Structure 1
Amino acid sequence: MKIAHDLYAETNPAFGAYLLVSFVRGFVEVNPNGPELPVAYLALPLAISGDLHPSFDRTNRKTGLQEWLERSPQIQVNLAERLNSSMDFVAGAIRLGCFSHAVRLSEGARLVVGTRGLKKDLTSGLSDDLTQSVRYADRLGYWSATAGSTKTIYDMMGLTL
């Protein structure tokens, strides 16, 4: 059996907005203020990148961002290029998320869960890869909140803000 890779589903702004909600939900469990907007531009491409999915094996919320990066240094290879090439996808996800009230920008350009209540698990019917991306977005949100400031997160990844 041949497994099809659904690139359209992965780059769909609605799916991106759902990833964004998962990321924000994970983050606000630790920090109710929500993540600063630039952190979303890191998390979504990492969560959706199928080639990075194996790096999440044997991790959980307790693993933390720093330990995950140390275990899988390949994450940082061409990271800036990966992020730059996904900017339109992330921007579309943010726009749709805000317009649909699934997320909103609060004071200080922080993302918080919006007034439109999305079910926590809308993954039924999605492929395993897409379902995993949603879980990884949540995990990255939690890790980012425990890692500290936006600058600290960017520094951990070897990027400048």
Structure 2
Amino acid sequence: MMEIIRASREDAEQLLALQKLCFRNEAERLNNFDIPPMLQTLPEIIEEFNSHFFLKSVEDGAIIGSVRAYEADGNCYIGKLIVHPESQNKGIGAALMKQIEQAFSHVKRYELFTGADSGKTIHLYNKLGYRSYSIKQINDQLSFVYMEKLNKS
């Protein structure tokens, strides 16, 4: 049975390994392994626990998904939604997103970004009520789409 619970620093090594596995396809597609999720180090992710709230999805004792967020100026900034490739398309990403929104239910809005050509990810975020409000060109191969969702609660 899958459960979503708060992650801790002790999970950092597993989270980082899962992050690199999940972003590997993106890096290969871009032919660029110098993207931030691939470059993050163990000390950096451990440090991130000081400012971010991490959730993990656990099944049979293994971490199969995660998302992290922080609050600033009444907004919740969500990042690095990851689900193990073998566990994708089973609702885990959507469940993680709903849980992180609940954890920040007092904010005015939620914001995130993803690769502009990450169709499946953008579809998921649209399904969850996120709307694109900006596209930022990073380089010749990479653009980010910034998305937001107003909190109606």
TM-score with structure 1 length normalisation?
0.31
Query: Comparing both structures, which one devotes a greater share of its residues to helix?
Result: 1
- Answer 1 or 2: which has greater strand percent: 2
